[in-house]
């Protein structure tokens, strides 16, 4: 499963990229606003840090407007992935962009039927929001399972990008289901490295090593 960081914070992206385990980055207007930086500037900087897809979201709601904004965004770098909402206008834009060879991430997916439409529109990625789905009384992972089944039934090439991940259990469940990608805040990704027994084991090894009086 590919790991994307869901952030626009440059320091966090650099830290994760240095591990060699980061496959891409997703951003949205809210994350850009939180960073307090210029949208085009921060997107270009992120694209220079990671080799994989960097999702940059349009803000227009109509097809013509989305196409105009996409034209600007995809000039930032070759690894920009245009992010569009799962609406009729968004899928029209997705179809047009993917036909032209541009990567597209269809976002704000909350049903398997929506995911089916995104795949038919040729989306590179579809982003079902599991955390927000859970918040509204549904099981976000049931949604991922349904999408995986449908995509496998018809050999759709659209990748399932699990979004709105809140904790490590979401990551584990998504991996067990067979999601292609997960995107999570840096804190969640860094939390995957941690386990109390790993930390205790290191402490024990270091204590024993100190007793030997040796050095490497």
Mind telling me the catalytic residues? 83
**SS3 labels along the chain:** CEEEEECCCHHHHHHHHCCCCCCEEECCHHHHHHHCCCHHHHHHHHHHHCCCCEEEECCCCCHHHHHHHHHHHCCCCCCEEEEEECCHHHHHHHHHHHHCCCCEEEEEECCHHHHHHHHHCCCCEEEEEHHHHHHCCCCHHHHHHHHHHHHHHHCCCCEEEEECCCCHHHHHHHHHHCCCEEEECHHHHHHCCCCHHHHHHHHHHHHHHHHHCCCC
**Pairing outcome for strands 54-57 and 80-85:** parallel
Distance, in Å, from the CA atom of 202 to the CA atom of 164, rounded to the nearest integer, reads: 33
Length of the chain: 216
Tokens of 179: 């999601």
First to last CA, the chain: 36
């Amino acid at each position: 499963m590919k790991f994307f960081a869901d952030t626009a914070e440059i320091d966090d992206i650099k830290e994760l990229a240095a591990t060699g385990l980061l496959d891409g980055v997703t951003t949205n207007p809210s994350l850009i606003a939180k960073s307090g930086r210029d949208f085009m500037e921060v997107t270009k900087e992120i694209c220079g840090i990671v080799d994989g897809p960097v999702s940059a979201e349009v803000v227009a709601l109509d097809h013509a407007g989305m196409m105009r904004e996409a034209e600007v965004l995809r000039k930032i770098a070759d690894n920009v992935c245009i992010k569009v909402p799962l609406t009729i206008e968004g899928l029209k834009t997705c179809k047009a962009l993917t036909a032209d060879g541009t990567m597209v991430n269809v976002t704000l997916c909350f049903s398997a039927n929506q995911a089916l439409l995104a795949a038919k529109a040729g989306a590179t990625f579809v982003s079902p929001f599991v955390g927000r789905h859970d918040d509204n009384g549904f099981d976000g992972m049931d949604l991922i399972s349904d999408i995986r089944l449908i995509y496998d039934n018809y050999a759709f090439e659209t990748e399932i990008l699990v979004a709105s991940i809140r904790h490590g259990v979401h990551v584990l469940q998504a991996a067990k289901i067979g999601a292609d990608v997960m995107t999570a805040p840096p804190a969640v990704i860094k939390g995957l490295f941690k386990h109390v027994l790993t930390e205790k084991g290191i402490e024990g090894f270091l204590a024993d090593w100190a007793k030997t009086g040796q050095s490497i």
